[in-house]
Structure 1
Amino acid sequence: MMADGDISFGEEKIFGEICNEMGLQNLKNEIIEKCKELAHGKKDILNVIVNEKIDDEARRSFFGLQNKSVLVRIIWNLVNLGYADSVFSKEEQKIVSYLVTKWSIEKDVFQEFLDTADTMLALTKQKEWIVLNFSEKEEREKREKDIDEEIKMLLDNVTITIKELKM
């Protein structure tokens, strides 16, 4: 979202869900405007984040010095947000990788999140294909339900990973 300074419909929708989940819904618009302001006309957003100490400010202001599972949830949310427009750009990857390192998040956990997001994206595309190509309602709905269950299982696995991590 901040990486390109532009917020797609999908990114805004997912960001709204993240804000609700983390109890930040009253700050959603303020955060979006801050991202737009900071990213406007900038080429290397990661340098802006580091130089302005936005990572430290966000952690302190929004999340406090909480346990590792909260920081890992933020990483998952950023990965999920990165995929909202179907492309986790190089700039988005650089930003999230920087935070993974800075917050001492295990690389294998981060890789699990990337793999999960890739799989969810592929399943979502498969579901779109099914909707377009299966005219028989009963068969289409069964296949859509199967995909929804797979996505739910993936999300449940992410939730378990996050809950298991402690600082």
Structure 2
Amino acid sequence: MASPTAAPHASTGDTPEESLANRYGGAQRRPSAGVSRRVRLVAALAVVAAVLITTWFALSTSIGKITYKDVGFEVVDDHLTRVTFQVSAPADTQAECDVEVQDAQAAPVGFRTVLVSGLEPGQRSAPGDDTWTYTVDVRTVVRGNTGVVHTCRSL
């Protein structure tokens, strides 16, 4: 009489590993732990787009704009201060700048609006030169302590 306790894999010739694979399924392929090529490509394109948009915003806010910079001042006497400043603007732009003289407490004691117009191409020191230096006298009610450009705007 045959023994009823014979191992099931013995009759089929399967090894224990094959028997488990048949019962529970074979080893499944796991997805790779790294980032897929498609995700890396999309991320790279997003970074390039962000850089391009940032560059466009930065250039669109600065091209063709009027900028100014204080260079210096000289207190001539109790009622006159000489202010020197630079203005950068496109060549065909006319602008006006408000120059202010302040006392030691930063209170305005003198004010003057100056008409600024771009130099013609023949007057420039270089073809791309769009910065001009101006020196103006500002009358004051008391002795000034500093002279600054308050603002510049196009006309």
TM bracket, shorter-chain basis: under 0.3
* Structure with greater proportional strand content: 2
Q: How does the TM-score come out when normalised to structure 1? A: 0.21
TM-score (norm 2): 0.22
Q: Which has the higher helix share?
A: 1
